[in-house]
Amino acid sequence: MIRLEKRPVPSTRWMIATPFLAVALTMVAGGLMFAALGKDPVEAIRTIFWDPLFNPQFASYSRPQLLVKAGPLILIAIGLSLGFRAGIWNIGAEGQYIVGAICGAAVGLAFYPAEVWYIFPLMVIAGGLGGWAWAMIPAILKVRFHTNEILVSLLLVYVAQNLLSAAALGWLRNPEGGGFPGSRNLSQYPAAANPELIAGTGMHWGVAAAFIAVIAAYILLNRHVTGYHIKLAGQAPRAARFAGVSTGRLVVFCLGVSGALAGLAGLFEVAGPAGQISIDFASGYGFTAIIVAFLGRLHPVGILLAGLLMALTYIGGELSQFMLGVPAAAIQAFQGMLLFFLLGVDVLTNYRIRFGKREVA
């Protein structure tokens, strides 16, 4: 007889071990799936996890790409994790990411073709403010009218997507683009571009910002009273109220920070890897970051590692598609398995598995 016994306190050891266990289980289950599809499972797993890092033919290109792909995920997930810890659920980072990109790009394009140093800093500010403002809508509605921030922030994603279409087709459209949708290419406009800081490393300002955010979040949570309030509000809301934590202020703070970081991620992406505002600019980073936040246990360092792991499955997944002919849907299923196992084995953190009969109390 196997049964679960609740631990008096969550096990720290398991909290660290479960992500690794989840990855291992995903490899096993994913390997079975690849085998069922007629692919060599060992080769498929190696292509996903090993080749992007160490294949002599690709790795020098793929490794920097890991940073490019992980940068926005980490930046957004760090912001989300603050709110998630306090029980404030911003599900609309995708929308804040889009609005940040539109605002930042609009500022840059407004200066076109001027070449002055302050354009890019202004774009960064506009991007952050754009994301922040978009997140303030659910924040203020929640504080004032007690609306549900999950619904409001999520639905605002669809509004943002329509804004994006309008911008790409209308007011931000490249006047020299022959009527085709999409803005001017910011990466070809040096004053507004977000290029690699050191060629061949993948490091752009967005990646740098992600690392800074990781450190800042770590300090905030461990050394600052706001971080203490966030943790307290999540773990013991009543106690937090008695301790004088203002729920309203916390909502505004958490949604504001996560919105601003998502907006920054959007700005760095549009000025760098994506290059332009286009109808397809939004690539789901805002939603994937939710997975990254939980995969990283809402801990800044965990999120850093989780973002890199997620990026690895994307890039390795692409490799396995054209190297081995694995269907795109199988890669998505593989990523889904990762989240599933992660949440599944989470039970070990809070419960102990007991074999044998229940003892009489």
Partner 1 sequence: MKRRTLLASGAGAALAASLGLPARAQDGPLKVGFIYVGPVGDGGWTYQHDQGRLAVEEHFGDAVETVFQESVPEGADAERVMTQMALSGAGLIFTTSFGYMDQTINVAAKFPDVKFEHATGYKRADNVATYDARFYEGRAVIGHIAGRMTQSNKIGYIASFPIPEVIQGINSAFLHARKVNPDVEMVVIWVYTWFDPAKEADAAKAMIEQGVDVIMQHTDSTAPLAEAAKTEGVIGFGQASDMAEYKPSPRVASIIDNWNPYYIKRVQAVLDGTWESMHTWGGMGDGEVVIGEITEVVPDDVKAEAQGMIDAITAGEYHPFTGPINKQDGSVFLADGEVATDEQLVSMNFYLEGMSGEVPS
Residues 33-52 contacting partner 1, CB under 8 A: 43
Shortest distance (Å) from residue 69 CB to partner 1: 8
Give 11 or 55: the residue with its C-beta nearer to partner 1. 55
Give 14 or 281: the residue with its C-beta nearer to partner 1. 281
Give 60 or 148: the residue with its C-beta nearer to partner 1. 60
Q: Would residue 244 be called left, alpha or beta, if left means φ above 0 and alpha means ψ between -120 and 50 degrees?
A: left
Whole-angstrom Cα distance, residue 30 to residue 214? 30
Shortest distance (Å) from residue 325 CB to partner 1: 8
Spatial CB neighbours of 5, under 8 Å, sequence gap ≥ 6: 351, 352, 353, 354
- If one asks whether residue 244 binds partner 1 (CB under 8 A), the answer comes out as no
Shortest distance (Å) from residue 22 CB to partner 1: 25
- If one asks whether residue 335 binds partner 1 (CB under 8 A), the answer comes out as no
Shortest distance (Å) from residue 127 CB to partner 1: 16
Say whether 352 sits in a helix, a strand or coil. strand
Give 90 or 278: the residue with its C-beta nearer to partner 1. 278
Whole-angstrom Cα distance, residue 76 to residue 129? 15
- If one asks whether residue 198 binds partner 1 (CB under 8 A), the answer comes out as no
Shortest distance (Å) from residue 333 CB to partner 1: 13
- If one asks whether residue 237 binds partner 1 (CB under 8 A), the answer comes out as no
By CB under 8 A, which span of 20-28, 98-106, 167-175, 296-304 interacts with partner 1? 167-175
Residue with tokens 């590692």: 305
Which of 178, 223, 359, 360 forms a contact with partner 1 (CB under 8 A)?
178
Whole-angstrom Cα distance, residue 94 to residue 104? 15
Which of 276, 309, 341, 345 forms a contact with partner 1 (CB under 8 A)?
276
- If one asks whether residue 158 binds partner 1 (CB under 8 A), the answer comes out as no
Q: Is the peptide bond before 113 cis (omega within 30 degrees of 0)?
A: yes
Residue with tokens 């999409």: 182
Torsion of CA 3, 8, 12, 18, to 10 degrees: 20
The residue type at 201: T
Which of 11, 65, 147, 246 forms a contact with partner 1 (CB under 8 A)?
65
> DSSP letters of 2-34?
EEEEE-SS--HHHHHHHHHHHHHHHHHHHHHHH
Token pair for 113: 């073709």
Q: Among 8, 141, 74, 145, which residue's Cα sits nearest to residue 303?
A: 74
By CB under 8 A, which span of 143-151, 168-176, 243-251, 296-304 interacts with partner 1? 168-176
Site string for partner 1, 300-329 (x = CB under 8 A): ---------------x--xx-xxx-x-xxx
Which of 4, 42, 280, 301 forms a contact with partner 1 (CB under 8 A)?
280
By CB under 8 A, which span of 129-137, 173-181, 245-253, 348-356 interacts with partner 1? 173-181
- If one asks whether residue 264 binds partner 1 (CB under 8 A), the answer comes out as no
- What is the maximum alpha-carbon separation in the chain? 80
Q: Would residue 3 be called left, alpha or beta, if left means φ above 0 and alpha means ψ between -120 and 50 degrees?
A: beta
Give 201 or 222: the residue with its C-beta nearer to partner 1. 201
Inter-residue contact 217 to 86 (CB < 8 Å)? no
Whole-angstrom Cα distance, residue 158 to residue 135? 14
Binding site for partner 1 (CB under 8 A): 43, 55-62, 65, 68, 165, 169-170, 173, 178-181, 185, 200, 269, 273-276, 278-281, 283, 315, 318-319, 321-323, 325, 327-329
